[in-house]
Structure 1
Amino acid sequence: MDKVITYFSTLEQRPFERMALLVGGLLFFWIIEGAIPLVKLQYRKNKFRHALVNFGFTVMHLIIHTALAVLIVMLSDWCKEAGFGMVYWFNANVWGAIIIGVLALDFSSWLVHWVMHKNPYLWRYHLIHHSDNKVDVTTGLRHHPGDSLLRGIFFLLLIFMSGAPMYSVMIYQTLVVITTAFTHANINLPPLLDKGLSYIFVSPNMHKVHHHWMQPYTDSNYGAVFSVWDRMFRTFTTLHPSKIKYGLDKYYPNEKDEDFLNLLKDPFLKKKHDGQ
């Protein structure tokens, strides 16, 4: 266990290793979705062109969160020195610190996601993620920079409240990278396996409901790693995969879902976003 703690405590200092985990996860599920696809996606040009658009947003997402990493380390270290946060208030041991940190940070992912759907201005940024008409493994990190920045702020807030040590933070970040690739991947799991997973974790079919083009399905299943928050706050919804259609029924033209520059500037345009 000491080796595990040491590994994750210093993982933030090894950006190339973290990048390898991200790229490795994407490639793994890219191969799997090619072998057992959930649906046959008709890309506008081809899968690589679609991926290129999403990777553009991925690069910006990673730049923002790499910059925020400095604040994450400083805040986690401050919590440790000050004895501030749930980890220290409950005098948690290593396992307790991991559980508290992981659950708190996963709640931050659920909460910021819910807020972006409920606030008309913030929805402008998040709808770029939902505008993807061909949801696959590359969709997972298709976030507008404004979306990414807000996620980082909520992440810092829950580190502050939980007092999560760096090893707990990095365990969660590793989990969420893998889970994000898994839940967005266009893979066809046996229905019983997918349903069984959804009692604890966010499963692929569970998250695909969130990408259905019509409300109220779009406004459900906000979870990142664990499904407990959606079940607890009654935002859990089911829909058979055969009935799911990706994209948006309003707010953004579906035919422009691969127009990178338009997607980047869209949140700043004065138009019809505020109906969310």
Structure 2
Amino acid sequence: MDKVIAYFSTLEQRPLERMGLLVGGMLIFWILEGVIPLYHLKYRKTKFAHALVNFGFTVLHLVIHTALAVVIVVLSDWCLHAQFGLVYWLHASVAGAVLIGVLALDFSSWLVHWIMHKQPWLWRYHLIHHSDNKVDVTTGLRHHPGDSLLRGIFFLLLIFVSGAPMYSVMIYQTLVVVTTAFTHANIRLHSKLDKALSYVLVSPNMHKVHHHWKQPYTDSNYGAVFSIWDRLLGTYKELDPSKIKYGLDRYYDNTRDEDFLALLKDPFIKKETAETEVPGNARKGIA
């Protein structure tokens, strides 16, 4: 345990190693998509062309979160010195600090995701993620910069509340990188295995429901690593994978889901209120 804690305590100082974890995880699932695909996706051009669009957003996402990493370190250190946050108030052990930090940060992922689906002006940014008509491993980090920035703010908020030490933060960030690749990957697991995983973790089939084009499924299964938040808070839904269709029922032209510049500019383009500013439950029943 001491070696694990020592490794993650300094992981933020090794950006190339962290990048290796991200790229390595995506590469593994990219290969598995060819071996055990869930769907035989027919890409608009090629799988590589589709990936380039998503990698463009991935680069922007990483730039923003690399900048935020400085703030994360400062905040986590401040919590340590001020003995502020749940970890310190509860006098948690090292294992307890990991548990509190990981659960708190995973809740931040669930909470910000839920809010983006409920608030019209935030949905404008998040819909870029949902506009992908061919969900695969590269979709995981397809986030508009506005979406990425908001996620970072909530991440900082829950570090502040929990007092998560850096080793706990790095353990969670490693978990969420691997899980994001896993849940978005176009891979087929045995239905019983996928179902068993979904009782604790977000499984591929569970998350694919969230990418279904129609309500109420789009507004469900917000979890990043653990499925407990959706199950406890009533946002868990199931749908047979054979019935899932990716994309959006409105808000953005599905034929332009690989137009990088149009996607980047879309949140700032004024549209009719009835079509763009009714996210969340207000959108149910849209055909």
Quick one: which amino acid aligns to residue 116 of structure 1? M
The 4+ residue runs of structure 1 with deviation greater than 6 A are none
Amino acid aligned to 1:58 = T
Distance 2:276 2:75 in 1: 35
Alignment of 1:81-96 (within 5 A): 81-96=81-96
Amino acid at match of 1:242: S
Residues in 1 aligned to 2:5 and 2:264: alpha-carbon distance in whole angstroms: 39
Q: Which residue of 2 aligns with 1:200?
A: 200
Which amino acid counterpart does residue 266 of structure 1 have in structure 2?
A: D
Deviation at 1:269, TM superposition (A): 0.5
Other-structure match for 2:277: 274
Structure 1: stretches of 5+ with no match in the other structure: none
State the aligned residue count: 276
Identity of aligned residues (%): 79
Residue pairs, 1:227-238, within 5 angstroms: 227-238=227-238
Q: Secondary structure at the match of 1:218?
A: helix
Offset at residue 211 of structure 1 (A): 0.1
Residue aligning to 1:123: 123
In 2, Cα distance between equivalents of 1:18 and 1:218: 31
Counterpart in the other structure of 2:100: 100
Residue 3 of structure 1, CA deviation: 1.3
2:229 is matched by which residue type in structure 1? W
- Aligned counterpart, 1:184: 184
- Counterpart CA distance in 2 for 1:116 and 1:89 is 31
Whichever residue aligns with residue 157 of structure 1, its letter is: L
Q: 2 CA distance for matches of 1:125 and 1:112?
A: 12
User: Deviation at 1:24?
Assistant: 0.1
**1:114 aligned residue:** 114
| CA distance in 1: counterparts of 2:223 and 2:278, whole angstroms | 23
Letter aligned with residue 95 of structure 1: A
- Name the counterpart of 2:222: 222
Separation (CA, whole Å) in 2 of partners of 1:6 and 1:80: 16
Instruction: Provide the rounded CA distance (Å) in 2 between the counterparts of 1:39 and 1:263.
Output: 25
Matched residue, 1:22: 22
* Residue pairs, 1:159-178, within 5 angstroms: 159-178=159-178
* Aligned counterparts, 1:37-48, within 5 A: 37-48=37-48
CA distance in 1, matches of 2:35, 2:198: 22
Which whole-Å CA distance do the structure 2 matches of 1:148 and 1:141 have between them?
9
Give the match for residue 156 of structure 2. Answer: 156
Quote the Cα distance in structure 1 between the aligned partners of 2:64 and 2:215: 30
- C-alpha distance in structure 2 between counterparts of 1:273 and 1:68, whole Å: 30
Q: What per-residue deviation string (whole Å, max 9, x for no partner) do you get for residues 122-156 of structure 1?
A: 00000000000000000000000000000000000
- 2:50 alignment partner, SS class: helix
CA distance in 2, matches of 1:223, 1:233: 11
Q: Which amino acid aligns with 2:81?
A: E
Partner Cα distance (2:78, 2:125) in 1 = 31
Q: How far has the Cα of 1:273 moved from its partner?
A: 1.5
For 2:146, give the aligned amino acid. G
TM-score, with length taken from structure 2: 0.96
Structure 1 residue 275, shift from structure 2 partner: 2.0
Cα offsets for 1:38-67 (capped at 9, x unmatched)? 011010000000000000000000000000
SS at match of 2:207: helix
- Take 2:278 and 2:78, find their aligned partners in 1: how far apart are those partners? 41
What's the RMSD between the two structures over aligned residues? 0.4
Tell me the residue number matched to 1:240: 240
Name the CA distance, whole Å, in 2 between partners of 1:275 and 1:237: 21
State whether structure 2 residue 31 is matched by structure 1 residue 31.
yes
Distance in structure 2 (CA, Å) of the matches to 1:29 and 1:55? 15
1:101 maps to a residue whose letter is: G
Match of 2:282 in 1: none
Distance in 1, matches of 2:35 and 2:50, equals 18
**TM-score for both structures, normalised by structure 1:** 1.00
